[in-house]
């Protein structure tokens, strides 16, 4: 008739049936789920660790008001059979309920059975006391044993149906209705139709030590980009769009600790947003801004693909270092891990206070002819490739970002400047010719506007613009962007529940391609994001 607490000790390493059932009673009275109880007990907070308590008087929630207390106190102090929290409380009640008392009695019964099993004898008066206590609390003992049976059954079910002992499966699905409005560059009319498309992602997140993280993310999407033949510019691209043509491995990396302050990354494939720290709250493609340019500084898109990175954290100071290349798996000449296109970055962030964060970054990149993209496909064609398709380009860039907390609002922004150098002759340019590209943005966001998990945002900025393009031959005209485009965006993410969010939004590009001869173009979408 005595329920063993060995299964619970196996789970916690030190917890007794008393602590489990006492907390179970509290959880039951507060209409908490078993999962919530298990989460509470599994928290790493050292204050939740269980230690042996050898006196009922140490349990401050227990009041010595009747014979049962005195009897149990005698048994506990004689046989040392109650385990409680180090602060001497069960937490959750200001007194010991009958159920908690019964749990303590059950713990003593377990201890006494162990003593008898070892051949030791008991005082006959103790046996009489135990018999009386069992009779007094028979109903409570039966109820608590039923709860233990339920917990054992639930635990067995979870173990039998868990996905993996080391891996969690996370998913995201996006449905989007989108369209553009305004004449496409060179077409003289709006040539896009309203599209309904999707993006799905499944992430397998594994940990082998509790401090490392292996991620493998699969992706399938069919959201055609608003660019090229549809709008004539990359400035109209959305942040979550793309067409994979089937399921692909979109992300695969392994993160591991390097001492107490650093983490290392080995990346088979990782995006521009995989390592750096961004200070604006709108960076997520699935739940942040709707545009590609509005997510984060395009300078960070100069690095992506395969390579390695290091993150360091020293209190409020953060350091991100990375080297990534797009053709590491290609062993041919002018490719591979170190002899092809690459991007390297150093990103430093510092939190001066809860309301003020600052960051600076440096970026170094190289791309052979035909692979140059200095704007991360967010700016004008001249800003992306100022020297033409036949010229290799190296570049040095500096960036800055900030966030200011204004109570219910966040004010954030960034600035980026790039010096590009031609690495060979071609297209009327010579080795050593230079170009300069600039971009900047300001954002006003309101987290939790209208409810927890919501996010409203207003973004105004200038997409990457070629402000200077030098030609060695003075007879050839320069190729600078002579006018200035503005990116103006508004969105509102409304969270229906923990798993579903709807984000209507739009953005307008004035003078697309930094050319005042081009009509403004509008992009609108309603994005529904399912997270699971």
pLDDT in tens, 371-430: 999 999 999 999 999 998 889 999 999 999 999 999 999 999 999 999 999 999 988 889
Phi, psi of 68 (to 5 degrees): -65, -40
Q: How far is 296 from 444, CA to CA, in rounded Å?
A: 14
Residues contacting residue 9 through CB under 8 Å, at least 6 positions apart = 15, 16
Burial of 475 (0-12, 13-18, 19+ CB in 10 A): exposed
Report field, pTM of the whole predicted structure over 0.75: no
Burial of 338 (0-12, 13-18, 19+ CB in 10 A): exposed
Other C-beta atoms lying within 10 Å of the C-beta of residue 46: 7
Work out the widest C-alpha separation in the chain, in whole angstroms: 114
Q: How far is 221 from 235, CA to CA, in rounded Å?
A: 20
105 within 8 A of 71, measured Cβ to Cβ: no
Question: Distance of CA 309 to CAs 114, 270, 285, 326, 447, Å?
Answer: 55, 10, 22, 15, 30
Give 184-199 pLDDT, tens digit per residue. Answer: 999 989 999 999 999 9
Is 333 strand, coil or helix?
Answer: coil
Please tell me the predicted confidence (pLDDT) of residue 96.
Answer: 65
Residues contacting residue 355 through CB under 8 Å, at least 6 positions apart = 404, 405, 406
Give the residue from 314, 203, 208, 320 showing the smallest Cα distance to 264: 320
pLDDT, mean of each 10-residue run, the chain (532 residues) = 32 35 38 36 37 45 60 73 51 57 77 72 78 80 81 80 83 98 95 97 95 97 95 97 95 96 96 92 96 98 96 96 94 89 97 96 96 96 93 97 96 98 91 95 97 97 95 71 96 97 98 97 98 95
The partner residues of 219 in beta bridges, in order of sequence, read 201, 248
Give the residue from 85, 117, 118, 72 showing the smallest Cα distance to 12: 85
410 within 8 A of 281, measured Cβ to Cβ: yes
Please tell me the predicted confidence (pLDDT) of residue 76.
Answer: 72
Question: Distance of CA 226 to CAs 192, 235, 516, 521, Å?
Answer: 8, 9, 20, 11
Q: How far is 391 from 386, CA to CA, in rounded Å?
A: 9
Please tell me the predicted confidence (pLDDT) of residue 28.
Answer: 39
Q: Which residue do the tokens 């973004």 mark?
A: 459
């Amino acid at each position: 008739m005595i329920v063993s607490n060995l299964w619970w000790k196996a789970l916690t390493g030190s917890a007794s049936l008393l602590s489990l059932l006492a907390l179970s009673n509290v959880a039951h009275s507060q209409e908490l789920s078993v999962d919530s109880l298990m989460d509470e007990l599994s928290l790493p907070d050292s204050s939740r660790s269980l230690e042996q308590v050898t006196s009922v008087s140490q349990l401050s929630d227990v009041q010595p008001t009747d014979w049962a207390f005195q009897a149990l106190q005698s048994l506990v102090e004689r046989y040392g059979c109650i385990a409680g929290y180090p602060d001497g409380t069960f937490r959750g009640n200001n007194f010991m309920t009958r159920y908690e008392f019964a749990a303590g009695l059950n713990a003593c019964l377990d201890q006494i059975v162990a003593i008898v099993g070892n051949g030791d004898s008991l005082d006959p008066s103790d046996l009489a006391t135990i018999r009386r206590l069992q009779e007094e609390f028979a109903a409570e003992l039966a109820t608590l044993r039923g709860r233990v049976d339920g917990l054992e059954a639930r635990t067995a079910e979870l173990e039998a149906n868990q996905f993996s002992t080391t891996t969690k499966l996370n998913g995201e699905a996006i449905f989007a209705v989108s369209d553009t409005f305004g004449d496409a560059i060179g077409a003289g009319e709006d040539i896009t139709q309203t599209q309904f498309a999707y993006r799905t992602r499944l992430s397998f997140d594994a940990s082998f030590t509790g401090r490392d993280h292996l991620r493998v993310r699969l992706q399938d999407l069919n959201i055609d980009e608003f660019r090229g033949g549809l709008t004539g510019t990359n400035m109209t691209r959305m942040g979550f769009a793309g067409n994979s043509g089937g399921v692909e491995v979109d992300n695969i990396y392994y993160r591991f600790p390097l001492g107490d302050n650093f983490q290392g990354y080995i990346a088979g494939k990782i995006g521009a947003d995989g390592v750096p720290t961004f200070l604006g709250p709108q960076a997520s493609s699935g739940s942040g801004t709707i545009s590609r340019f509005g997510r984060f500084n395009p300078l960070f898109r100069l690095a992506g693909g395969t390579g390695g990175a290091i993150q360091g954290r020293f209190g409020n100071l953060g350091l991100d270092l990375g080297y990534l290349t797009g053709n590491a798996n290609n062993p041919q000449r002018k490719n591979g891990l170190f002899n092809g296109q690459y991007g390297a970055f150093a990103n430093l962030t510092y939190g001066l206070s809860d309301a003020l964060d600052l960051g600076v970054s440096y970026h170094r990149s190289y791309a052979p002819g035909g692979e140059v993209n200095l704007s991360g496909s967010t700016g004008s064609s001249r800003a992306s490739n100022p020297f033409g398709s036949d010229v290799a380009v190296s570049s040095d860039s500096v960036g800055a970002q900030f966030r200011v907390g204004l109570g219910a609002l966040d004010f954030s922004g960034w600035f980026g400047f790039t010096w590009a150098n031609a690495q060979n002759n071609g297209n009327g340019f010579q080795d050593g010719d230079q170009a300069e590209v600039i971009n900047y943005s300001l954002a006003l966001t309101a987290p939790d506007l209208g409810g927890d998990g919501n996010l409203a945002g207003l973004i105004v900025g200038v997409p990457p613009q070629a402000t200077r393009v030098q030609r060695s031959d003075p007879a050839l005209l320069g190729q600078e962007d002579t006018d200035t485009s503005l990116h103006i965006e508004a969105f509102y993410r409304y969270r229906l529940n923990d798993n579903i969010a709807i984000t209507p939004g739009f953005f307008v590009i004035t003078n697309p391609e930094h050319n005042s001869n081009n009509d403004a173009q509008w992009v609108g979408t309603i994005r529904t994001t399912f997270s699971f």
